[in-house]
Amino acid sequence: MKLYFAPLEGITSYTFRNTHAAMFGGCDEYYAPFITPSNDEKTGRKMLRDILPENNRCGKLAVQVLSRDAEAVLKFEKIIAEIGYTEMNINLGCPFQTVVKKGRGAGFLKDTECIERFFDELFEKTELKISVKTRIGFSSADEFDRLIEIYNKYPFTRVIVHPRLREAFYKGEPDMEAFKKAVRTSKNKLCYNGDIVSADGLKKFSEDFPQIDEVMIGRGAIANPALFREINGGERLKTAELIEFTERLSENYLELFGTEIYVLQKMKEIWMYIMKNFPQETKILKAIKKASKLDDFKKAISLLK
């Protein structure tokens, strides 16, 4: 089973990836949060900073692109090819309004004719391998038939399917009937993404879909950074490891940004996922949210020992 760490914008930066890889690892590849190239801006060093090889010590890294402009993507691919990348992933899954209102990410799914033109041009001219991450539709699962038909036209290295509609965001259960449809009809290799939060959960998925040997995990691996290790038969996550991981990560953020307020905000965001492991600890969760200093935050999480 190939295991991929899904990108989460604002969380899984190279600082997070490097820290996670050094302490836990276990995944076959990390996916960097999307980059949005365009024809009217120069792709500067700042935009590329997160994917520069010298900044990444996490092992294999995949570049994800958010765009509906094939020309801009083709220009961007030349830039990433120069720094050693041979593949890029196209994001058709991001559900957030700031992305969707521009017709990108999951917002692109509403315009299947444009998607087809986009991939026609991309595959005609690209010199890189291409994968795609997709939802099953914007507002109706009926849209997935047409999307699969389009994806089947192109030689993707993989089609990563998150079986939810854009309108569902991350709520409710994944539509496994839609994923079954993809398994039956896709001509491309499939990778599953959605709500795998435990080794037992992956085992159950593998029993239901023995033909799928690639899985992408995002929120589950933020909540439990040892998840990939557990899936591979290693030890279960210990609370003390969470404390140590937080200490290492906050130190790395401080070294990079030099501002405690930024680090505190980042750690709070990450710990909103982690605290799902401790649903009974409402007082500690309240203290985490209330913390105005990094030391106060660390004192709050230390109570979990």
DSSP codes of every residue in 55-76: G--SS-EEEEE--S-HHHHHHH
pLDDT at 193 (0 to 100): 98
Q: Last residue of a domain, which of 196, 231, 266?
A: 231
Domain identity same for 148 and 169: yes
* Tokens of residue 268, six digits: 């709070």
Domain identity same for 211 and 255: no
Residue range 283-298: average pLDDT? 96
pLDDT at 39 (0 to 100): 64
Residue range 264-271: average pLDDT? 96
Domain identity same for 122 and 197: yes
Q: Last residue of a domain, which of 177, 202, 231?
A: 231
Q: Which domain holds residue 246?
A: 239-302
Domain identity same for 172 and 82: yes
Domain identity same for 211 and 275: no
Domain identity same for 250 and 276: yes
Q: Last residue of a domain, which of 231, 260, 288?
A: 231
Domain identity same for 22 and 42: yes
pLDDT at 236 (0 to 100): 96
Whether 305 and 243 have beta carbons less than 8 Å apart is answered as: yes
pLDDT at 47 (0 to 100): 80
Domain identity same for 225 and 249: no
How confident is the model over 56-74, as pLDDT tens digits?
A: 999 999 999 999 999 999 9
Q: HEC states along 260-301?
A: HHHHHHHHHHHHHHHHHHCCCCHHHHHHHHHCCCHHHHHHHH
Alpha-helical runs (H) found in 158-226: 176-185, 199-208, 219-223
How confident is the model over 176-226, as pLDDT tens digits?
A: 999 999 999 999 999 999 999 999 999 999 999 999 999 999 999 999 999
pLDDT at 258 (0 to 100): 87
pLDDT at 278 (0 to 100): 94
pLDDT band at 43 (very low <50, low <70, confident <90, very high): low
Backbone angles phi, psi at 169, to 5 degrees: 50, -115
Helix (H, G, I), strand (E, B) or coil at 3: strand
Number of separate domains in the chain:
2
Domain identity same for 217 and 243: no
Domain identity same for 73 and 136: yes
Domain identity same for 215 and 259: no
Residue range 19-29: average pLDDT? 98
Those residues whose C-beta lies under 8 Å from the C-beta of residue 43, and which sit 6 or more positions away, are: 37, 75, 76, 79
Residue 228 CA to residue 199 CA, distance in Å, equals: 8
Q: What CATH number should be reported for the domain holding residue 213?
A: 3.20.20.70
pLDDT at 41 (0 to 100): 55
pLDDT at 44 (0 to 100): 54
Whether 139 and 165 have beta carbons less than 8 Å apart is answered as: yes
Domain identity same for 278 and 161: no
